[in-house]
Amino acid sequence: MVLILNNLQASDATGADETVALPTLAGASHAELIEALGSLGVPNRQLRMRSSQLWSWIYARGISAFAEMTDVSKDLRAKLTEAFSLERPQIVTEQVSQDGTRKWLLRLPKRGDEAEAPEVETVYIPEADRGTLCISSQVGCTLTCTFCHTGTQRLVRNLTHGEIVGQILLARDRIGDWPGAEGPQDGGLLPESERKITNIVLMGMGEPLYNFENVRQAIEIAADSGGLAHSRRRITLSTSGVVPEIGRWGAEAGTMLAISLHAVNDELRDELVPINRKYPIKDLLEACRNYPGLTNARRITFEYVMLKGVNDSPGDARALVKLLAGIPAKINLIPFNAWPGAAYECSDWEQIERFAEIVNKAGYASPVRTPRGRDILAACGQLKSASVKLRASERTKATISSGDEGGSGRRSGGCCWCPSLFFWECWRRGLCC
């Protein structure tokens, strides 16, 4: 049975409530917390100490209201409540698969000239001894991989680091992964381990290396030992092969790496993963061989989706082994997960087993990924939201219409997106461009 909970937090899901929300500190960096406290008049000599207090409450204890910060003065708590919030992304729907997989459709705050609030999907995959959270880095995707549902959705925008971290906070809220918290009472599977989210994978919507800075900043927050404390060895970034950024990611972020390979020659990969036309297999594998920290203990995972009659022959398996020679690697074989309009079929199980046997005999671990969440389109390659990027003419029409409906027209009349955490305050003061 598939459980679907609609509009869990959607009091304004219809768009009736157009009040400007307070900026959230859920997902803020150390520097942003210091900036926020400074804006409230906290003396410079107290900023580091006060920001550490907020950090612990937000990321180690998971509180969602400033009033719960019992070691912060009442005066400061009142100022924080007036100026900021601790809101997570808004849940539009939550789906629980027959196998326990959870998928959330999340609505993000509108930015700049966006006519509608964009939406992304986040997936939690529980097992008996671990729980994996699959998070998104973009609304839509820059790339157009032909076997991937997300690839049919044009890129709307990058997520901020706060929106990426917000997915982790929201997931931990929903499954009770905070000290003393209770899990959901819907009968869904949860790990027996103390931590319910043991692994994080950047395998959701988007190409994370095309949102490098925000993703790196989000990982810094997620891996901080004084807060969320997720081990970098249990965080995996999956890329389709943005070659120039792979080495930089390893040097600056130091997480595990997964490569969406899916083909053993450039001709086929050009079709399946079009970025291959820019960064062919030879260049991609060279970047993998030079990945910082690569050892037999820190192997690269190569993802290989099994497409019937396309890339699943014994010859393909032998070519794959030859291709990866000399690279400390694990090969994840992924049965293709169908989605509406897909042009491919999943390989027969016997063919997958035969493929895996060849790879295993060559000395590579080649687990066949058990499909999870297929019944709610939450499996690998199935994520997509309905968000679209408006054309310039459509954005202009939307903002003019908004002004005609009684808005001030000041911000919606062409104001650019301010990168500051406090863009709405800039707008209120007349400082926004």
If one counts every other C-beta atom within 10 angstroms of the C-beta of residue 256, the result is 21
Nearest to 239 by CA among 200, 202, 291: 202
What are 307's two structure tokens? 């497409």
- Which of 364, 391, 387 shows the shortest CA–CA distance to 261? 364
How far out from the chain centre does Cα 358 lie?
A: 33
Q: How far apart are the first and last CA of the chain?
A: 51
Q: Containing H/E element for 164? A: helix 161-175
Give the residue from 337, 332, 327, 326 showing the smallest Cα distance to 359: 332
Point out the residues that are catalytic: 121, 380
H-helix or E-strand spanning residue 39: helix 30-39
Provide the b/e sequence for 102-135 (b: ≥16 CB within 10 Å). Answer: bbbbbbbbbeebbeebbbbbbbbbbbeebbbbbb
For β-strands 199-202 and 131-134, DSSP reports them as: parallel
C-alpha distances out from residue 343 to 126, 309, 325, Å: 30, 12, 31
Cα–Cα distance for residue pair 294/250, rounded to 1 Å: 9
Strand partners, 105: 93, 121
Query: Would you call 418 exposed, middle or buried from its count of C-beta atoms within 10 A (0-12, 13-18, 19+)?
Result: middle
CA–CA gap between residue 23 and residue 72 (Å, rounded): 20
**Contact in structure between 158 and 152 (CB atoms under 8 Å):** no
